[in-house]
Amino acid sequence: MSVSQCLYEGSSSKPKRARLSTSLVLGCSEEDKRGTIQPHDDALVVTIRIGRYHVRRVMVDEGSAAEVMYPDLFRGLNLKPEDLTAYSSPLVGFEGKSVIPVGMIRLPVQTSSEVVEVDFVMVDAFFPYTAILGRPWLHALGAVSPILHQKVKYPSEGQVSEILGNQAMARQCLIMAIQHRLETDTSAAAEDDL
């Protein structure tokens, strides 16, 4: 069994009579690909608990320096504009365009027994995902996200826990993004003809 794509070593100590420390290795092998459609270039899309709700269509993006929330999630969590704090730094989206955030809110993100407080930047723009969890969340959790294996692996109570990605949902989100882009391009072309 070969280890591929990622290795993360951290130390985990379990309370015992003698002080013992074991090395916990977060790794990926060919076996971790079982149950996934291979080859693929799907985004890593998971369902995760944010606040009091299980939230679908959350993209895990280790390339993102911020956690981002989109309008569907904002409304779904029954949040109000007054729940947001000011956040004035623009974000650069996937298309290279700057987006001015509406504000920021801190919410708990729970994975099994681990809870990480996350600062979500609220953006009022279309995106097929409800939220993006990026490097700050991954680092706080001590996690690795091998997209090829469609998993997030993290240390929890002396063991390696994982969150499985949903490739069918990732592909639905891709279709939504393409449809939105086509609709936007068609609307822009119609306006240009006027």
Q: What is the predicted pLDDT for the residue at 53?
A: 94
Residue 8: per-residue pLDDT:
31
Output the six-digit token pair for 179.
């449809």
What per-residue confidence (pLDDT) applies to 11?
37
Cα of 94 vs its chain's centroid, Å = 15
- What letters, b where the CB count within 10 A reaches 16 and e where it falls short, cover 23-45? ebebbbeeebbeebeeeeebbbb
Please, what are the domains in the chain? 40-182 (2.40.70.10)
pLDDT of residue 184: 77
pLDDT in tens, the chain (194 residues): 333 333 333 433 333 333 444 577 788 888 888 888 899 999 999 999 999 999 999 999 998 999 999 999 999 999 999 999 999 888 887 667 788 899 999 999 999 878 999 999 999 988 899 999 999 999 999 999 988 899 999 999 889 999 999 999 999 999 998 998 888 777 666 666 65
pLDDT at 46: 96
Q: Model-level pTM? A: 0.80
